[in-house]
Every structure is written in C-alpha cells, then in structure tokens.
Amino acid sequence: MANTYTQTYIQFVFAVQNRKSLILPDWEHHLYKYITGIIQNKRNKMIAINGMPDHLHMFIGFHTTDSMAGLIQVVKSESSKWITDRGFTDSKFKWQEGFGAFSYSRSQINRVYHYVMNQKQHHKKKTFREEYVHMLEKFGVEYDERYIFKTVEY
C-alpha cells in the first residue's frame, strides 16, 4: 500500500507437535535456511533464527501487509512438508498449534538477536516451558494454562 511505512520487530516462538525433540543438529541449519527463504519471500527480514530440538525462535523485521497468523501458518505448513519430504523424521512432521509473538523496539534488536542465537546455552539453565511462561508474563500476555505448549511426553 502506497505511503505506508512501518518498523515492526517480532520474535515468534513455536514448538514441534507434542514438544517431541525431532529437530536434529545434522539438519537444523538447513531448516533455518529454508524458513529464512519463506520469510524473505513474504517480504519480511529474518534477523535471527535458532532453537532447540523441540521448538524454534524467529526474530524478524515484520512487513505489516501480512497477518502474523497467516505468516506463521505458511512457515509451519511449508516447513513441515519440506521436513517430511526429505525424510528427516520417521513419520509426518508437524508443528504444534499456536505460537507466541512478542514485539520489540529498534533499540532492542541487538539484545534479542543474541538471545535467539544463544538458545542452546540459555536452555542449559531454563526449560522451554519456563522460558515461554516467563516471556508471556514479562509482556503481560494473559494465558490459559491449558493451552500453554504441552510438556514433552515420552
């Protein structure tokens, strides 16, 4: 849309279905590159992407002509198909329903970039559930405990 100017930075967080640890180190970098391509093709800017075997963080410069839910739906569906088609998992790969989206100011870009890129070190001290609930509370997001990403079930 002509004469529309925005500056929106969003960190998205979403999990593998049932929080199973399916994203393996030998192919996670390829997944991040693939998702980065999706983000850029939708006119957004990937600032940082990283995660753990059971969840993913993306920090992007968000192009506001799309909806957040629409963008995440495309990322989840296309990346699930990509993972499944390459046989990276024994069964059809799925992301869990829902996502977190947290906005930041321009002055916070460097801090959030380092937070996302240091996920593996961060999770030596804090579980994903602890991290996610902390983010919800820090941002003042009301939530229903029943719908927080399910705990890992073995």
154 residues of the chain, pLDDT tens digit each: 677 788 999 999 999 998 899 999 999 999 999 999 999 999 999 999 999 999 999 999 999 888 999 999 999 999 999 999 999 999 899 999 999 999 999 999 999 999 999 999 989 999 888 999 999 999 999 998 887 876 655 4
pTM over 0.75? The answer is yes
Q: Is residue 154 part of a domain?
A: no
AA identity, residue 87: G
Q: Is residue 80 part of a domain?
A: yes
CA angle 55, 69, 3 (to 5 degrees): 125
CB within 8 A of 117, min separation 6: which ones?
A: 48, 50
The whole-number pLDDT of residue 152 equals 53
Domain CATH for 140:
3.30.70.1290
SS3 content of the chain, % helix, strand, coil (to 5): 45, 20, 35
Structural domain of 78: 9-147
Q: Is residue 127 part of a domain?
A: yes
Q: Is residue 96 part of a domain?
A: yes
**Is 151 in contact with 16 (CB distance < 8 Å)?**
no
The whole-number pLDDT of residue 6 equals 84
CA torsion sign for 7, 31, 130, 20 is: positive
The whole-number pLDDT of residue 83 equals 98
Q: Is residue 62 part of a domain?
A: yes
Could you give the number of structural domains in the chain? 1
Q: 68-85 and 25-41 helices cross at what angle (nearest 10)?
A: 140
The whole-number pLDDT of residue 151 equals 60
The whole-number pLDDT of residue 148 equals 81
Q: Is residue 153 part of a domain?
A: no
Query: Rounded to the nearest 5°, which phi and psi values hold at 133?
Result: -65, -40
Q: Is residue 98 part of a domain?
A: yes
Q: Is residue 73 part of a domain?
A: yes
